[in-house]
Structure 1
Amino acid sequence: MRKPLNHTQCVVLTLCWAALCFLVLTSTPKIDGPLVIMILISGALVFIPVIKSLKSRNK
């Protein structure tokens, strides 16, 4: 099993995701359903490993 992410990696990963979401949301002419679904799925792909890493580090 691989090592859990450290706090710096979690913060950098979260900030990169937030910056990309900001770029997508500001550059699109209108916010529609597929865009919202894409952001929710990308958030799940980013935050599930971060939360698992933080939980495993607390044990």
Structure 2
Amino acid sequence: MKRQFSRFQIVCITLLWAALCYIVLTTAERIDGPIILTLVISAALVFIPVIKALKRK
């Protein structure tokens, strides 16, 4: 049985993902298809479990 995320953990996960996006977008020479695709995939990997955890509460 999986342990549910706390609100603090959800906020931390969201802020860390936002920081990752900021770093990737500010250090990239060009913002092109592969970078956008990587950010979209990372958002799905981060937020699908978070949304499922919020629905269980």
Please give the range of the TM-score, normalised by the shorter of the 2 chains: over 0.9
Residue 52 of structure 1 is matched in structure 2 by 52
| TM-score calculated relative to the size of structure 1 | 0.93
Residue 29 of structure 1 is matched in structure 2 by 29
CA RMSD of aligned residues (A): 0.5
Aligned residues: 57
Gaps of 5+ in 1: none
The alpha carbon displacement at 1:3 in A equals 1.4
The alpha carbon displacement at 1:25 in A equals 0.1
Structure 2 residue 8 is matched with structure 1 residue 13: no
Counterpart amino acid of 1:17?
W
Does 1 or 2 have the higher relative contact order (CA < 8 Å, sep 6+)? 1
Rounded to whole Å, the distance in 2 between the matches of 1:8 and 1:17 is 14
Counterpart amino acid of 2:29?
P
Runs (4+) of structure 1 exceeding 2 A deviation are: none
Rounded to whole Å, the distance in 2 between the matches of 1:44 and 1:18 is 13
Residue 39 of structure 1 is matched in structure 2 by 39
- Identity level (%): 53
